[in-house]
Amino acid sequence: MAKNRTYLSNLQEYAYKYIEECENKRKEQLSNKGDIVKIEDRKNPTIDYFLTIWLPKNCKKNKNIHMSTYYRWMKWENTEKQKVINEIDNLFKSLQLDIAANEGKGLQYLKYKFGWTDKTENKNEHSGTVNITGMEIK
């Protein structure tokens, strides 16, 4: 099925709606007083969930896009489809980074998605001579 400009515009709108749901997610938690209260619990948006679950659940069947199509469009150069897909991807990444930076959630996902690593530092502060069974190493 050929995807036209209206479809691309709708896809962007659906992405914004999904982002809004992710930002407004709440969870129930027991308060100090014993009451159940709803607190903010933002959700990390993912392309996989958006394409395979959110779109089919919230939109008409013909509004879906297969994941392979999505990633193929992302690689096309200088096309309207690529621009829309990259904008959606950047929206998701922005929220993911904000949630990780401000709430510390999703760090393992971000390490995988963005190639982040834990910084390790190795220092060898040995200076001198070591004598191992008659051999001298400097």
> Could you tell me the pLDDT band of residue 18, with boundaries at 50, 70 and 90?
very high
31-45, 97-111, 123-137: the lowest-pLDDT one: 123-137
Question: Which residue range(s) make up the domain with 11?
Answer: 5-137
DSSP secondary structure letter of residue 75: H
Counting residues of the chain whose pLDDT is more than 70, the rounded percentage is: 76
**pLDDT digit string (tens) for 73-116?**
888 888 888 999 999 999 999 888 888 777 777 667 667 666 76
Q: Which helix (H) or strand (E) holds 39?
A: strand 36-40
In this structure, what CATH number is given to the domain that contains residue 67? 1.10.132.80
**pLDDT > 80? residue 120:** no
> Which residues are CB-neighbours of 73 under 8 A, at least 6 positions away?
79, 81, 82, 84, 85
The tally of domains found in the chain comes to 1
The confidence score (pLDDT) of residue 1 equals: 40
